[in-house]
Chain A
Amino acid sequence: MGKGDKSGVGVFLVGGFLLFALGLFMIGDRRQMFTESIDAYADFADLAGLQNGATVRVSGMDAGEVTSIEAPPTPEGKFRVRFRIIEKLQPIVREDSVASIQTDGIVGNMFLQVEAGTSGAPQIENGRGVKSVEPFQISDFLDQAKQIVETADELLDEVKQDLVTIVRNVNDVAEEAETLVAEARPNITSMTASAKNIADDVEGVMNDINAGKGTVGKLFKDEKVYEDLKSTTETLKKVSEDVSKISSSAGEIIDDAKQKDVVGKVDQTVANVRDLTAKANDLLDKFQKEGDDGEPSMTDDVRQTMASARETMTDFAEDAEALKHNFLLRGFFKKRGFYDLNEISPAEYKAGERAPGYPLDRVWLHSQSLFDPSTDLIKLTDEGKRAIDRAFGEFIDHVKDDPVMVEGYAGVDNPSEAYLLSQRRAAAVRGYLINKYGLRPNYVGVMEMGRVESTAKDGKPWDGVALVRFLDKKEKKALDKEQKK
């Protein structure tokens, strides 16, 4: 046996032992056996298969291992799991740190996870315990997943039923809308016809309506009704899209639930689906019928608007007719289309006065009997008020139906002064009449006549106020007869 052989044996022996020791060292190193460490413990009712020697991780970092597991002395007791944590990680493990038993993936080893504590809590000391949460078992997860799948199934059934209802409702609504449009068409046609009938008289009205003035004008110009209808259709479309999305995502939910860790997601989605269905139903309810607070639904709104429009048109037509027949002022009415006495100019008024067939019932009141001379003859005296009362007594039977015109006259030379004075006088009388008798302001007009030469013998211009009522021919005849007697 040569020296080389002996050396070979030496190398073999030493090398083999070193290799074995290296293995020991690597295993010990992986288990943090050669690092300064502290002992701690946590209590668990269920170990979930945790074993002695299992890895301990602090916030995910390998920190030591489980050193012993003590069985509980009573059924109510808990297993005490003692473990080591390397000193390096001691500062982040606090007394409120929570230990939990977890698995490395689905098939991995069980390990003890210790979360870092809060900086407010005291640092853990050697031999002290941390809090614990019971492990989450795969079987629990499967149970939960099964429940979720069942719930999802039920929900799908519900959704399916709801879907049928929704589709039916959508159909109903569409039919209603169709009927509504069909109903509205003749109305609109007849309205147009009526409008045409009085178009000659109400050209101005139409102009104003086109300009968006007044309620009727707004109604026609306002696009809200159209927008409401449009947005309603869009909402319905969205609802059916949502519903189809719900069905497809429900399918995905079940697939997911069967495969992955999606408990939370599925729960949320289920809630969303429920929410969406409720919303869709709500929307349809709102759209279809009255709410609890008695708010009218959208279809009702549309219907009401149409009805109002119809009513307004009818009223308008009636008014126009009434004006045409009862009112003297056909000439300027033709031009203006408004039943507003204040917009009639004196020239027009005078022209109308001369128009045949619309005689006037006029009561003359002289300025001296009406006004206080110290106030430039514009402020009414008590005596003047009584005179007005007497004069108005003749009109009282008719004032509800017929407009009253207060004509003002001033006997001054300057035309503009005459105009102003006559206007003030008439306005004073008008104000008194409206206040005292509660007349409708638009039925009481002021007409500033300015200076008007009298046809009477004294030759002085008119100076005062005249109350004027317009009569139809029948009334005039009756009045004439009475006067003759």
Chain B
Amino acid sequence: MRELIANFFDDAGRMGLFGLRGFRDAFRKPFEIPEIIVQLGSLGVRSTPLIALSGLAVGVVMSMHTRSSLERFGAEALIPNVLAIAMIKETGPLVTALLLAGRVGAGIGAELGGMRVTEQIDALESLAVDSFKYLVSTRVVACMIAQPLLTTVFNFMAISGGFLAETMLSGISFELYFQRAFSSVPFRDYIPATLKTAVFGFLIAAISSYLGYNARGGAEGVGRASTQSVVASSIILIIVDVILVRIIFFAFPEGS
């Protein structure tokens, strides 16, 4: 038991240091800009359809649920407000991060794990390429950039999905719906909630890279790294989110 706890903290410390090193190395020459762009393409652009579609679906579903609840109080007019607040403040960032943890975390874990067990990383090292910087830092930066943008896409798609569902039921106009939606969202809810997803992006990339980069034991090790990436990044995401929300409340007290 004691060993287990010791191992947990050992892993956590290694993971933290690994991530921070990856983030720090990104600002060291030579900047791996082309590789960052490549990673943005595979992590960000290719995730966009998934995120957009999920956002739309979540928006439609949330709108319908909100309606059935608010109808009881005769407060249907508040549906856009409620939906926008829910999406922008919490649902959007968290769902996007979890989706990305599933898609990207597994990808990074498997890719780096595969490279490790097939000794490609060692090959890079032998070519005098800083494999850590080339493989990990670029992914961390790309994830940190992509995450807020994807969250924004998710939010807008969700609010639009809400509009579709709402306009079919009550015939509300596009303009009125979006005015209502944004009327009760202050900047202090919009900006921190969106920017905090950069932390989620960092966590996903760091955890998955760590597990893949340190994979051992052939194909089995690759599979394990891939699975662990998704599970670990998802759990840590949610825990960190709790802490982040507290921090945001602390920094912007009137939003609490």
Chain A residues within 8 Å of B, Cβ to Cβ: 1, 5-6, 8-9, 11-13, 15-17, 19-20, 22-24, 26-31, 51-53, 55, 62, 105, 107-109
Contacts and interface: CB of A to CB of B under 8 A. Distances in A.
Contacts of A31: 186
Nearest to B47: A12
Contacts of B78: 108
B152 A20 contact: yes
Contact of A9 (B37, B153, B179, B187): B37
A28 B156 CA distance: 16
A12 B40 contact: yes
B37 A53 contact: no
Contact of A12 (B149, B155, B190): B149
Contact of A27 (B37, B38, B153, B186): B186
A101 to B, nearest CB: 16
Given A1-B34, A30-B183, A17 B149 contact: yes
Given A30-B179, A51-B254, A24 B38 contact: no
Contact of B149 (A13, A29, A30, A108): A13
Contacts of B238: none
A249 to B, nearest CB: 26
Contact of B184 (A1, A8, A16, A109): A109
Given A20-B149, A20-B194, A13 B40 contact: yes
Contacts of A26: 178, 182
B95 interface: no
A24 to B, nearest CB: 7
Contacts of B178: 26
Nearest to B42: A5
A53 B185 CA distance: 10
A107 B76 CA distance: 12
Interface in B121-177: 145-146, 148-150, 152-153, 155-156
Given A23-B152, A30-B183, A52-B254, A107 B73 contact: yes
B41 interface: yes
B17 interface: no
B48 interface: yes
Interface of B: 34, 37-38, 40-41, 44-45, 48, 73, 75, 78, 88, 145-146, 148-150, 152-153, 155-156, 178-179, 182-188, 190-191, 194, 254
Given A20-B148, A28-B187, A12 B182 contact: no
Contacts of A55: 183
17 contacts: A1-B37, A9-B41, A9-B45, A12-B40, A12-B149, A13-B40, A13-B145, A16-B150, A19-B149, A20-B149, A22-B156, A24-B190, A53-B188, A53-B254, A105-B75, A108-B78, A109-B184
Given A6-B37, A23-B155, A55-B183, 5 more contacts: A8-B41, A23-B156, A23-B190, A27-B186, A52-B254
A254 to B, nearest CB: 23
B187 A24 contact: yes
A405 B182 CA distance: 114
Contacts of A11: 45
A140 B82 CA distance: 28
Nearest to B44: A12
Contacts of B48: 12
Contacts of A16: 148-150, 152-153
Contacts of A17: 149
B38 to A, nearest CB: 5
Given A12-B45, A51-B254, A27 B190 contact: yes
